[in-house]
Amino acid sequence: MAAPNLLRTINETRVLNLLFQRGPHSRADIARELQVTRSTASALVAGLVERGLLLETEETADVERIGRPGFVVKLNPSARTYIGVDIAVSELRIVALDLNADVIASLTVPYTDPATPDYVVGLVRPAVEKLLADNGLAFAAVEGLGVAIPGLVETDGVIVFAPILNWRNVDINDMIQRAFDAPINLYFDNDANACAVSEGYRAETSASGTLAYFLMDSGVGLGILHQGQVFRGQEGVAGEIGHARFFGGLGDSGLGDDVDFAAAPTFEDVVGREGVLRMCARHQLPITSIREFVELAKTGDPDARRVFELWARCLAVGVANLCVILNPDEIVFGGKTAELFSIDPKCVHDEANRHLRFMFKTPTLRTSVLGVLAASVGVASVMHGQSFAISANTDGALSA
# chain residues binding DNA, by CB under 7 A = 31
Quickly count: other Cβ atoms within 10 Å of residue 165's Cβ: 20
3 vs 263, beta carbon nearer DNA: 3
Pick the binder of a copy of itself from 90, 114, 360, 371 (CB under 8 A). 360
**With binding defined as CB under 7 A, does residue 289 bind DNA?**
no
C-beta closer to a copy of itself: residue 85 or 167: 167
Residue whose CB is less far from DNA, 7 or 89: 7
Binding map of a copy of itself across residues 142-181, x = CB under 8 A, - = no contact = ------------------x---------------------
User: φ and ψ at 202, to 5 degrees?
Assistant: -100, 0
Q: Closer CB to DNA, residue 44 or residue 95? A: 44
- What's the residue count for the chain? 400
Distance CA 97, CA 245 (A): 39
Report the partner that residue 329 touches, choosing among DNA, a copy of itself, none (CB closer than 5 to 8 A by kind): a copy of itself
Q: Which of 55, 164, 179, 326 binds a copy of itself (CB under 8 A)?
A: 326
Q: Is 74 in the site for DNA (CB under 7 A)?
A: no
Q: Which does 66 bind (CB under 5 to 8 A by kind): DNA, a copy of itself, none?
A: DNA
The values of phi and psi at residue 50, to 5°, are -60, -35
Tell me the C-alpha distance between 313 and 279, whole Å: 13
Within a 10 A sphere around the Cβ of 6, how many other Cβ atoms? Answer: 14
Site for DNA in 32-71 (CB under 7 A): 35-40, 42-46, 61, 65-71
Sign of CA dihedral 134, 140, 144, 147: positive
Contact between 180 and 221 under an 8 Å Cβ cutoff? The reply is no
Name the DSSP letter for residue 114.
-
Distance of CA 289 to the CA centre of its chain: 26
Window 93-132: residues binding a copy of itself (CB under 8 A) = none
> Which one, 51 or 243, has the nearer CB to a copy of itself?
243
Which residue type is seen at 221?
G
